[in-house]
Amino acid sequence: MHPLKITTREAVTGPVVEINGDLDYETAPQLRNALSALALEPGRCLVLDLGGLKFCDSSGIAAMIAGHNLARAAQADIALAAVPPDTLRILRIVGLDQVFTLRPGSTRKTG
């Protein structure tokens, strides 16, 4: 088991939420809470950087959908960055790759 760590930072285009560890039934409420605390503005883009995601179950997917709904309610966009292969496969199977903008690379700062 990998503990969930959520880091939020502001980028030029909008908030970036870096998700590290396991996103599952027990930890998904942490992501929901972090997303609901964000100040989303119209025309900005919320990015969920999944580059550190180790595991994601249906509760984690549901938390991402909740983020999508929050962004849309604020007239903002949402994108998923660096989606791990297993999670990407699930998103494709259920059609969420057509709902979320998918970005191949991580937004994480290095150095």
Q: How confident is the model at residue 107 (pLDDT cuts 50, 70, 90)?
A: confident
pLDDT tens digits, one per residue of 11-43 = 999 999 999 999 999 999 999 999 999 999 999
Q: How confident is the model at residue 79 (pLDDT cuts 50, 70, 90)?
A: very high
- Residues 77-98 as b/e (b if ≥16 CB within 10 A, e otherwise) read bbbbbbbeeebbebbeeeebbe
At residue 110, the pLDDT reads 55
Q: Give me the mean pLDDT over the 39-68 stretch.
A: 97
H or E segment to which residue 99 belongs: none
- Phi, psi (5° rounding) for residue 71? -65, -45
Which neighbouring-strand residues pair with 9? 16
pTM given for the model: 0.93
Q: How many residues does the chain have?
A: 111
- Average pLDDT score over the chain: 95
At residue 109, the pLDDT reads 64
pLDDT at 73 over 70: yes
Q: List the domains of the chain with CATH numbers.
A: 5-103 (3.30.750.24)
Question: Collapsing DSSP states into helix, strand and coil, what is residue 61?
Answer: helix
